[in-house]
Structure 1
Amino acid sequence: MRVLILLTCLLLPISAYGACEGRDLRLEMSSEERAELDKALSSIVFPEGNHWIARKDNTVLHLIGTLHTNDERMGDVVERLTPTLSKADAFYFEITQEEMDAFERDLAQDFSPVMITSGPTLIDLMAEEEWAALSANLAERGIPRWMAAKMRPWFLSMMLGIPPCLMETPDFDRGMDARLTEIAKEHAIPRHSLESVEELIAMFDSHSLEEQVQSLVRLAGALQSGDDQLMTMANAYLEEKHAEIIQLAKIQGQRASGLTPQEFEAEWEGFEDQLLVQRNNNWLQKILPLKDQTVVIAVGAGHLADTHGLLRQLELAGYKLERAPF
């Protein structure tokens, strides 16, 4: 998500990285791996499509699944979407550009929202071998050992998922959200947030420090992302296969974690509940009251699919859904 990418920029020396040059991991899957992925996808509702129109009475919602990192291929997509979206009455983003900019300015002066400000550090809360492995992985991302020891575990979990090479990708944070913001600005369309940065951080901090550490240790191997994962995600996104992105990450994450399937499933459910289910439910409290207008809802594509996804929840609320060109 964009807030974590921005935090990364503030914390890390950009010169430490090289540009991303990954490969699409789906092309190297065995027939057994492909079958496993297809089986996982078969039970998911609304697994594809980055542009859906939800209609109810005189209310029209254009749901756009976004990718928060830049890919030059998005330019053609935006060109196709602009004639339709530029007629909207309002845009709703996870968090607007203005609110993100304000938070970034505040964070430049005070890093406490992502730091352990009192009590034991991660060195004290982890076994020696666990800390050695984690700090080595974070060092590859430019985070020195002394700094990592004082960071909130939820933040480090997210940092592991950001490929180090990303920081030298041109305009790396000009993802679909940023490009849609440009449309709204150009046409003077009001923009609103579905959540605040403070609410997001409070959700991440809702578990105790000890619980966060335990989850970080158990999922560290699964959370790490590199050039290949980034390329795979971008390609699948532009193919509008958002559920495939999540299910592939889950399958590969289980293998990388070293956990039993049962152990990993428990950790994954908690991860998914916090990042997707809870946030979707919170956002619906702002989306469902919208009446008699045409609105663009631009959120990460991973929030669209499955029974907890926005599409299914809107369908249950009486909206008629139609997949639209992207």
Structure 2
Amino acid sequence: MNQGTANQMFAPFRMAVVLAAFLMPASLSAQCAGQNLLDAMPSDAFAALEAGSETHPYATGNRFVATKGESTIHFVGTLHVYDARMKEPLERLRAVIALSDAVYVEATEAEQAQLKSEIAKRPDLIFATEGATLPERLGQADWTLLSGELAARGMPAVLASKLRPWYATAVLGVPPCAIKELGGQANGLDKLIMDAAAEARVPVHALEPYDAAIRVFTDMDDADQLDILRSSLPLLGEAENVYETLIESYFAEKNRLFWEYTRERSVAESPDDPETAAADFARMENALLIRRNYSWIDPILKAAEGREIIVAVGAAHLSGINGILALVEEQGYRIDRESF
């Protein structure tokens, strides 16, 4: 399976942020200086991309409320890395949090701690304990590039050489400038909402098991993981630009636009034919987003019966025919966009 160079840089980014936050051996702090790649597009190409993205249900917006009878679900699209602009949305959410019966997120601090504990007990999940190392499998040129990039992200070469390919790819999805002083967990709007819920004594629950994030990658066989890692290397120079594009798209509440841009770039820059590249992107999208969306619906609906709850998950999960908003709407809920 060859996912294509751009696919590997763009598609795993949100998941990579979470995994790197959980598992990086050191914390870094720097200021990103990337450029918004959407601003560099020719005006006609951007207009076509934007029009196409708007054909997807709930293409814009970071906050919605779903109502059905006595059941109310507040949906908040989050970003898993901190930005000071999150303070204002958080303040608007505090009153809603305080009046809610429960908050549901992808992973609570308990799941994050369990994941770290599992990694500590089973280092074989991210480190290959036998067989050829990454330098031996990649070759000198690719290894020199990879080891330098991992070192910039706090990963010494002696550890990097033994990484499983999937984790090396995940770490590469986060530019060094985006790795904050995280304290071992994602420090974005999810964390701020969890902290506010704790202050209001509102219970917080996870929508999925602690290991769901890593299973997205570990379910791939080792050869596929290596192909993905190798194909991610050529676009490393764009990492800060991808990050900046993601951040700006999020605060513009145009998350579907960013996702469709990643799809377009993936297909256009893949060494494979367009049909194969599109199928590869769809496979990654299914693993990262769609499959998880469907697994969350029953727990969300059950939790909301006769109650008022908040569901705060990565913003990419909201839009599309397979997004959680459309899936909830199919169950008879009315969906209204709220001010973010």
Q: 1: CA distance between counterparts of 2:158 and 2:44? A: 43
* TM-aligned CA deviation for residue 92 of structure 1: 0.5
Asked whether 1:5 is paired with 2:14, we answer no
Is contact 1:236-1:242 (8 Å) kept? yes
1:303 maps to what in 2? 317
Asked whether 1:262 is paired with 2:275, we answer yes
Q: 2: CA distance between counterparts of 1:224 and 1:11? A: 23
Asked whether 1:157 is paired with 2:169, we answer yes
Q: 1: CA distance between counterparts of 2:35 and 2:179? A: 18
Asked whether 1:235 is paired with 2:248, we answer yes
Q: 2: CA distance between counterparts of 1:260 and 1:140? A: 34
C-alpha spacing 1:282/1:220, structure 2 compared with 1 (3 Å): farther
* TM-aligned CA deviation for residue 84 of structure 1: 1.9
Q: 2: CA distance between counterparts of 1:225 and 1:184? A: 37
Q: 2: CA distance between counterparts of 1:54 and 1:224? A: 41
Secondary structure of the corresponding residue to residue 65 of structure 2 = strand
Is contact 1:54-1:322 (8 Å) kept? yes
C-alpha spacing 1:222/1:56, structure 2 compared with 1 (3 Å): farther
- The CA deviation string for residues 250-305 of structure 1, in whole angstroms up to 9 with x for no partner, is 33344555444333222211211110011112112311222111110010000011
State the AA in 2 paired with 1:307: I
1:249 maps to what in 2? 262
Q: 1: CA distance between counterparts of 2:22 and 2:299? A: 26
1:138 maps to what in 2? 150
Q: 2: CA distance between counterparts of 1:40 and 1:218? A: 27
C-alpha spacing 1:58/1:222, structure 2 compared with 1 (3 Å): farther
Q: 2: CA distance between counterparts of 1:117 and 1:5? A: 20
* TM-aligned CA deviation for residue 13 of structure 1: 5.8
* TM-aligned CA deviation for residue 106 of structure 1: 5.2
State the AA in 2 paired with 1:92: Y
Q: 1: CA distance between counterparts of 2:252 and 2:69? A: 31
Superposition TM-score, scaled by structure 2 size: 0.84
State the AA in 2 paired with 1:269: A
Secondary structure of the corresponding residue to residue 53 of structure 1 = strand
Alignment of 1:132-211 (within 5 A): 132-168=144-180, 173-211=186-224
2:98 maps to what in 1? 86
Q: 1: CA distance between counterparts of 2:175 and 2:273? A: 26
1:99 maps to what in 2? 111
C-alpha spacing 1:164/1:255, structure 2 compared with 1 (3 Å): farther
Alignment of 1:209-228 (within 5 A): 209-221=222-234, 226-228=239-241
Q: 2: CA distance between counterparts of 1:61 and 1:120? A: 49
Q: 1: CA distance between counterparts of 2:242 and 2:198? A: 32
Secondary structure of the corresponding residue to residue 107 of structure 2 = coil
Asked whether 1:322 is paired with 2:336, we answer yes
Q: 2: CA distance between counterparts of 1:162 and 1:93? A: 22
2:6 maps to what in 1? none
Q: 2: CA distance between counterparts of 1:298 and 1:13? A: 25
* TM-aligned CA deviation for residue 38 of structure 1: 2.0
C-alpha spacing 1:263/1:64, structure 2 compared with 1 (3 Å): same
Q: Identity over aligned residues, as a percent?
A: 29
Is contact 2:153-2:179 (8 Å) kept? no
Q: 1: CA distance between counterparts of 2:35 and 2:258? A: 14
Q: 2: CA distance between counterparts of 1:256 and 1:142? A: 29
2:12 maps to what in 1? none
Alignment of 1:36-75 (within 5 A): 36-75=48-87
* TM-aligned CA deviation for residue 201 of structure 1: 2.2
2:42 maps to what in 1? 30
Q: 1: CA distance between counterparts of 2:93 and 2:60? A: 17
* TM-aligned CA deviation for residue 103 of structure 1: 3.0
C-alpha spacing 1:21/1:116, structure 2 compared with 1 (3 Å): same
* TM-aligned CA deviation for residue 128 of structure 1: 5.8
- The CA deviation string for residues 161-191 of structure 1, in whole angstroms up to 9 with x for no partner, is 1011123579894311011011110110111
